[in-house]
A and B are shown apart, each in its own frame.
Chain A
Amino acid sequence: MTAAPAFRMPDPLLQVRGLTHRYGPHIGCRDVSFDLYPGEVLGIVGESGSGKTTLLKCVSGQMEPTEGSVEYETRDAGLIDLFRMSEARRRLLMRTDWGIVYQNPRDGLRMRVSAGANVGERLMAIGDRHYGHIRSEAVDWLERVEMDIGRIDDMPHTFSGGMQQRLQIARNLVTKPRLVFMDEPTSGLDVSVQARLLDLVRGLVRTLGIACVIVTHDLGVVRLLSHRLMVMKGGNVVESGLTDQVLDDPQHPYTQLLVSSILPV
């Protein structure tokens, strides 16, 4: 019998401390702190205007917060504050180690170049100069997001909403990121397409071990995907905890309201 190796908690991938963002006199989000561990899926829920998207933009380096720090565990140099590193380095990080899936595929895709080029762009951006290799990677990733390979040379605007989201996911995952941000990835899709997309994302996140931050107003999405949950209201985090704990035993009045306002089918 060999002794089981002592379990050691891995270092967090992302550490957010005291993050506040103001739009002039208005509060976007206030004093948000959390840790995200490798392979973990964190859901952020709340009503429209509760500061979810502001928080996501700050945490994903798209917008500098008014106060607070966002530190990321880089592969080579350990924890580094996002807004203290050089812009070149931050942008490199964003297109290699991270992925961002937008609510509107038009924000995340190049609509005027083919699906294959959309998937291959990140590879070319990090210096891949072999057409055959880029092409085979594109084929591989389109297969993994369950898209028809025959449409690899079609323009994204000829695709349905669900396919555009799949394409966005493939385009982000091609560089094997460790962290993916998703902003309302399934809103705007009908329920059957939503279900298939969620199934796909769940499978990919699990097999690839990607850490994920998902912003959504749909409690069904977080129930299915996320391990932990943060509930936001008016820019503040009002409740956080394990997903089933928060959804099945909500403590804060707002969370109770949110949970009870799901329409039963």
Chain B
Amino acid sequence: MADVIDHPSRTAAAETRAATGYNFAYLDEQTKRMIRRAILKGVAVPGYQVPFGSREMPLPYGWGTGGIQVTAAVIGPDDTLKVIDQGADDTTNAVNIRSFFAKTAGVATTEKTVEASVIQTRHRIPETPLSEDQILVYQVPIPEPLRWLEPRETETRKMHALEEYGAMHVSLYEDIAKYGRITKSYNYPVKVNGRYVMSPSPIPKFDNPKMDRMPALQLFGAGREKRIYAVPPYTRVKSLDFEDHPFTIETWDQCCALCGAGDSYLDEVVTDDKGGKMYVCSDSDYCEQRREAGHVGDGGDPAYAARNQIPAGDAPAGDEPAGDEPAGDKQ
């Protein structure tokens, strides 16, 4: 086999930080080239699932093997990496993947969205808008949006090729017929650039509008299913819906109990065994930035807001219909 090819921008500084015995960012250079080719193809055909030779990674399938391989292929020594899991920087998955790349690539890591150049994510898109010089890498468990309707891979590929997406609406029809509204609240299917129907990975539908014309490059890696797909910057991403039942996002009638944010995705946190609970931002960095800037929430006490006159900007926007969606309904 060929000798290990040095990463072209390998610097002495990164060399000293990275653990010895590994190639830069764990994967060998040939594998990274193969993944980059798949990524380029994915960018060229937005939303199309490109097969790639997924490698065994030192963690189980379902823990982000696809995302890690994509990150390893795009990250350079000068990049700053942020990893989030369900919006938080301090959960097991996020902490482990961050330390994995700190160790094998010697890259700088951060918890701040604005400082990161590569963000690997599971189940959320950061609340802070992303910019052109950032890459968002999603961990994807099941890349095929048609899988639950059509178990045969040969058939789903044909359906994508011939743009036969009627079956996708059948599941939305069923929701409305049964519950009066579309109840799918995460992994909500989208159409990319008016052509391919794509699974956005299990992000809440709250995050779907953020994908539309996002300035950052969005890459999706599914390790077990061996698929990579991409949404290039400023690409149209439309959530599927009916004309008379348009797509809507979740809303809450609370603000974040810690920072008072009314525009972020809220997690329900149970505080005691007597039915006590509070709602806090799922994006831990966003919540922290707000608290540092002096914003405070009601601490879980609904009367607090009334007593302490929370600034108007922090209250939920008045035009949002509040409370028609049960909070914390993500699965």
Residues of A within 8 A of B (CB): 87-88, 91, 110, 113-114, 116-117, 120-122, 124-126, 129-132, 134-135, 152-153
Contact = CB atoms under 8 A, between A and B. Distances in A.
B234 interface: no
A121 B174 CA distance: 11
Per DSSP, chain A at the interface is helix
A59 B170 CA distance: 29
Nearest to B149: A110
Contacts of B63: none
A134 B162 contact: no
B242 interface: yes
A152 B169 CA distance: 17
B245 A121 contact: no
Interface in B136-170: 158, 162, 164, 166-167, 169-170
Contacts of B243: 129-131
Given A88-B162, A116-B177, A110 B170 contact: yes
Contacts of A117: 170, 173-174, 177
Given A129-B242, A131-B242, A132-B244, A121 B166 contact: yes
Contacts of B169: 124, 129
A226 to B, nearest CB: 32
B174 A122 contact: no
Contacts of A88: 162
Interface string B157-196: 0100010101101110110111000000000000000000
Interface of B: 158, 162, 164, 166-167, 169-171, 173-174, 176-178, 241-245
A110 B178 CA distance: 17
- List 9 A-B pairs, minimum CB-CB distance, nearest first: A125-B166, A124-B169, A131-B242, A124-B166, A88-B162, A130-B243, A117-B173, A117-B170, A132-B244
A152 to B, nearest CB: 8
Taking each of A122, A124, A130, which has the highest tally of chain B beta carbons within 10 Å of its own beta carbon? A124
A113 B178 CA distance: 11
20 contacts: A87-B158, A87-B162, A88-B162, A91-B164, A113-B170, A113-B174, A114-B177, A117-B170, A117-B173, A117-B177, A121-B166, A121-B170, A122-B166, A124-B167, A124-B173, A125-B167, A129-B241, A130-B243, A134-B173, A135-B177
B173 A116 contact: yes
A149 to B, nearest CB: 13
A125 B170 CA distance: 9
Nearest to A120: B173
Contact of B244 (A113, A116, A124, A131): A131
A114 B171 CA distance: 10
Contacts of B176: 131
Contacts of A130: 242-244
A135 to B, nearest CB: 8
A131 B173 contact: yes
B239 to A, nearest CB: 13
